[in-house]
Amino acid sequence: MNPAWPVDTARPWLAPYAPRAAAAGATLAQGLGVAEALSNQPVPIGLPAGPLRFVPVHTAPADEAYEAFIFRTAQVPTRDNLHDFFNGLVWLHFPQAKRRLNELQAGEIARAGIGAERGPLRDALTLFDENGAVLDAPPALWEALLARDWQRLFVAERALWRQARLLVFGHALLEKLSSPRKPMTAHVLCAPGASRSVAIDDAAIAAALDAAHLASKPFAPLPVLGVPDWWAPNEAPGFYDDTEVFRPPRPAGRLYPE
């Protein structure tokens, strides 16, 4: 992997991962692969099969599902690319949540096998793992987000974002944010029960990953580059008037692709 890889650890969405990203990046600059660079970091938790390890992708049998292999061996197949680099960072920083996702995925694979369709639970697990986010915010921001009232969310209630925290969990979204573009959208997990927020710590995220709740796809789309202080262009007048990105609420009976 090229040591000039485009990871700017000063970006706000990388703040939770920045120390490990910098340390692993220094290892990559020495010519080691991503699996080795991640394995050089302290691993805070194990899986049922043993201590978590990152291994080159060819280690996994071609005929075994990725998540089933991780569950069986506690080894994460890792390619030399940004996608798998960010996946490893999330494993290291939020191991309980990633372990919970893997346990649910492996359980569904054992129950139903691998077919043409994943089913609602595996779809939701994959969506959160790849593109998910967690928001801890005052109720007024949640109300605006769920209503897709972007002007209220980002303009009228802009000051409330000082009381909010947004975590980008999905490693595919972290990869895409290496080259920020306005339409990039996270799927924010709504917590089970009356409270919408999930506290941004590993145990709280893992606890919110309830199988029945996830199967209902309890996600709210959020254009992440609209978050105040996350991207300089959103300070410009009219930034939030772009209805191709900041879409109005769905008309009754009509679905937008997320």
Asked if the structure places residue 36 within a domain, the reply is yes
213, 165: one domain: yes
Q: Is the pLDDT of residue 105 over 80?
A: yes
Structure confidence by residue, pLDDT tens digits, 133-190: 999 999 999 999 999 999 999 999 999 999 999 999 999 999 999 999 999 999 999 9
Q: Is residue 226 part of a domain?
A: yes
Are 170 and 80 part of one and the same domain? no
Give me the residues paired with residue 134 across strands.
Answer: 167
Is there a single domain that holds both residue 111 and residue 140? no
Q: Structural domain of residue 234, as residue ranges?
A: 127-241
Check whether residue 97 and residue 203 sit in a common domain.
no
Q: Are 135 and 105 found together in one domain?
A: no
Same domain membership, residue 232 and residue 132: yes
Q: Decide: 130 and 96 in contact? Cβ < 8 Å.
A: no
- Least Cα distance to 150 among 42, 250, 17, 240 occurs for 240
Tell me the pLDDT band of 253, cut-offs 50, 70 and 90: very low
CB atoms within 10 A of CB 128: 26
Confidence check: pLDDT of 206 > 80: yes
> What is the average pLDDT score of the chain?
91
132 and 224 in a single domain? The answer is: yes
Asked if residue 248 lies in contact with residue 144, where contact means CB atoms within 8 angstroms, the answer is no
Q: Residue 118 — very low, low, confident or very high, per pLDDT cuts 50/70/90? A: confident
135 contacts 164 by C-beta, under 8 angstroms: yes
Q: Are 161 and 224 in contact (CB under 8 A)?
A: no
pTM summary value: 0.92
Whether residues 133 and 174 share a domain: the answer is yes
Q: Which of 87, 116, 145 is the last residue of a domain?
A: 116
Residue 5, domain member (yes or no): no
Q: What is the mean pLDDT of residues 232-248?
A: 95
Find the farthest-apart pair of alpha carbons in the chain and give their distance in angstroms, rounded: 56
Same domain for 230 and 137: yes
Q: Do residues 36 and 94 share a domain?
A: yes
In this structure, the answer to whether residues 146 and 112 fall within a common structural domain is: no
Give the pLDDT band (50/70/90) at residue 14: very high
Asked if residue 44 has pLDDT above 80, the reply is: no
Is residue 121 one of the residues assigned to a domain?
A: no
Q: What's the CA gap between 227 and 234, in Å, rounded?
A: 8
Structural domain total, the chain: 2
- For residue 250, give the DSSP letter: P
Q: Are residues 141 and 93 in the same domain?
A: no
The helix or strand, by DSSP H or E, that contains position 213, with its residue range, turns out to be helix 211-215
Give the pLDDT of residue 5.
Answer: 63
